[in-house]
Amino acid sequence: MADIEFRVVSDRREGLLLELGRLIVASGFTLQRQRMTRSDEGVVLTMVVRGPEQNLLALEDRLGSHPIVQSFEATSVDAAAAAAPPAPEPARPRTLLSEARPEPSGAAPDPGRVEALLGALAREYPDVFNRMLAFEHEVSSAHREATSRYAGTRLGAWIYKRDYTLGARLNLADSIRHIALPAMRQLLRGTELDGETLRIKDSPFTGVGLHRGTSCHFLRGCLEGLLNEPGHLGRPRVVETFCRNTGADACIFTFAA
Ligand SMILES: [Zn+2]
């Protein structure tokens, strides 16, 4: 069991606790206490949660990438300190998130910039990569991963609505095969299904010096958008488990319900 304090900044108060609370519960955690305040940054929601350590990264990933969340920090709370009511010293800085993902802590997407981009992506689809790479160059490195991924989720949702919305309700494996695979092939011909993972040989986001570590955050976002948009699958998790940017032969995306 781990006790963790999350500090979330958002631009809206309505539904914030409800939406994030759902993710927390769905990940097997319980909300111990929470506090919502306003600051110059926006609405600040601080939550202390308790739950299984092995689910923590997944939860942090979900919270940090939720569109309602502008910035996100996680700090471990000593169990003893959590039990003592005033708990004046919340914690030592937590490093798990930054170890697992090279650039992300505190990084939030910049939705305003993405809104301006989406019209162009929709017009130029499926030839979106020149524009996306130029966009990634413009975005500051602190926001690049989250913003690119968010842009991907929006484009993926758009593709789903455009091309797949009238299809049958598929389970995750069939959604990967019949939605994610053909949609990604529209973008990148060399996309292959390998069991239940997607293998992309020729991602344009690798080797261009924009990211350390895995680099195909836009493609990851597209897959998330394609699989999240139907709704009945919940929010499947997509992880780029191997990337050419870190020396692998291909970029491999894996999925979990
Ligand atoms: Zn990659």
Which CATH number does the domain housing residue 36 bear?
Answer: 3.30.70.260
223 CA to centre of ligand 1 in angstroms:
13
Tell me phi and psi for residue 256, to 5 degrees: -145, 140
Residue corresponding to tokens 């491999």:
252
75 domain-assigned: yes
Q: Where a domain ends, among 70, 100, 130?
A: 100
199 domain-assigned: yes
pLDDT band at 94 (very low <50, low <70, confident <90, very high): very low
Residue 93 reports pLDDT greater than 50: no
251 CA to centre of ligand 1 in angstroms:
4
Nearest to 49 by CA among 99, 94, 7: 7
Average pLDDT over residues 81-91: 45
Average pLDDT over residues 132-158: 95
Three-state secondary-structure class, residue 66: coil
Same domain, 221 and 247: yes
**Range of 9-23, 38-52, 232-246 with top mean pLDDT:** 232-246
Instruction: Kindly report which listed range (30-34, 203-207, 241-245) carries the lowest average pLDDT score.
Output: 30-34
Cα of first residue to Cα of last residue in the chain, in angstroms, is: 22
70 CA to centre of ligand 1 in angstroms:
25
Of the CA atoms within 13 Å of residue 81, those in its CB half-sphere come to 15
Same domain, 251 and 156: yes
Same domain, 127 and 54: no
105 domain-assigned: no
Same domain, 146 and 251: yes
Same domain, 35 and 123: no
- Six-digit token string for 29: 């955690």
Three-state secondary-structure class, residue 150: helix
120 domain-assigned: yes
Same domain, 249 and 145: yes
245 CA to centre of ligand 1 in angstroms:
6
Instruction: Kindly report which listed range (45-49, 101-105, 155-159, 164-168) carries the lowest average pLDDT score.
Output: 101-105
CA distances from 82 to 17, 21, 86, 232, 242 (A): 20, 19, 8, 37, 37
Q: Where a domain ends, among 46, 74, 100?
A: 100
Query: What is the reported pLDDT for 92?
Result: 42
Same domain, 141 and 37: no
228 CA to centre of ligand 1 in angstroms:
21
Contacts of 183-189 spanning 24+ positions with Cβ under 8 A: 183/156, 183/159, 183/222, 183/226, 184/219, 184/222, 184/223, 186/125, 186/126, 186/159, 187/126, 187/128, 187/129, 187/219, 187/222, 188/219
Nearest to 150 by CA among 240, 65, 233: 65
90 domain-assigned: yes
pLDDT band at 81 (very low <50, low <70, confident <90, very high): low
Q: Where a domain ends, among 100, 127, 154?
A: 100
pLDDT band at 231 (very low <50, low <70, confident <90, very high): very high
Nearest to 145 by CA among 204, 213, 93, 200: 213
Query: Environment class of residue 207 by beta-carbon count within 10 Å: exposed (0-12), middle (13-18) or buried (19+)?
Result: exposed
233 domain-assigned: yes
215 CA to centre of ligand 1 in angstroms:
5
pLDDT band at 23 (very low <50, low <70, confident <90, very high): confident
Query: What is the reported pLDDT for 78?
Result: 63
Residue 180 domain boundaries: 111-256
Same domain, 156 and 217: yes
pLDDT band at 91 (very low <50, low <70, confident <90, very high): very low
116 CA to centre of ligand 1 in angstroms:
25
139 domain-assigned: yes
Same domain, 121 and 238: yes
Same domain, 209 and 115: yes
Same domain, 134 and 23: no
Q: What total number of domains does the chain contain? A: 2
65 domain-assigned: yes
How far apart CA 243 and CA 205 sit, in angstroms, is: 10
pLDDT tens digits, 31-45: 878 888 888 888 999
Instruction: Kindly report which listed range (106-110, 227-231, 242-246) carries the lowest average pLDDT score.
Output: 106-110
Residue type, 208: V
How far apart CA 22 and CA 11 sit, in angstroms, is: 19
Of the CA atoms within 13 Å of residue 25, those in its CB half-sphere come to 6
The CATH number given to whatever domain includes residue 124 is 3.30.1380
Query: What is the reported pLDDT for 144?
Result: 94
93 CA to centre of ligand 1 in angstroms:
29
Tell me phi and psi for residue 251, to 5 degrees: -95, 130
201 CA to centre of ligand 1 in angstroms:
9
Same domain, 96 and 120: no
